[in-house]
Amino acid sequence: MRITSKGQVTIPQELRDQLGFVPGSEVTFIPEGNTLRVVKQEGPAGRGRSLVDRLRGKATVSMTTDEILALTRGD
């Protein structure tokens, strides 16, 4: 495998599947001698998840999801 001019490499699909690396996975690079470990982070939620968690339960409108969708779709 070669590193691109941008410093990118492709992790083979089989390894991504086996280790649970999905698009958006956060990783840390750990140098160990002449070896570089790529470690998937299980820590704090990403920006999107943090936003959703912060907003969950804050709604003040007592509409159902179907009613909200009907409003946004113009039904």
In a domain, 6, yes or no: no
Distance from C-alpha of 3 to C-alpha of 36, rounded to nearest angstrom? 13
The pLDDT, as a whole number, for residue 2 is 92
What is the total count of domains within the chain? 1
In a domain, 3, yes or no: no
DSSP annotation of 31 reads E
Q: Which domain holds residue 22?
A: 13-73
- When pLDDT is cut at 50, 70 and 90, the band that residue 68 belongs to is confident
Name the helix (H) or strand (E) containing 40: strand 35-40
The pLDDT, as a whole number, for residue 74 is 77
CB burial of 10-43 (b: ≥16 within 10 Å; e: otherwise) equals eeeeeeeeeeeeeeeeeeeeeeeeeeeeeeeeee
Give the pLDDT confidence of 2-22 residue by residue, as tens digits.
999 999 999 999 999 999 888
> What are the backbone dihedrals phi and psi of residue 10, each rounded to the nearest 5 degrees, phi first?
-105, 125
Give the pLDDT confidence of 30-64 residue by residue, as tens digits.
999 999 999 888 766 667 777 887 888 887 878 88
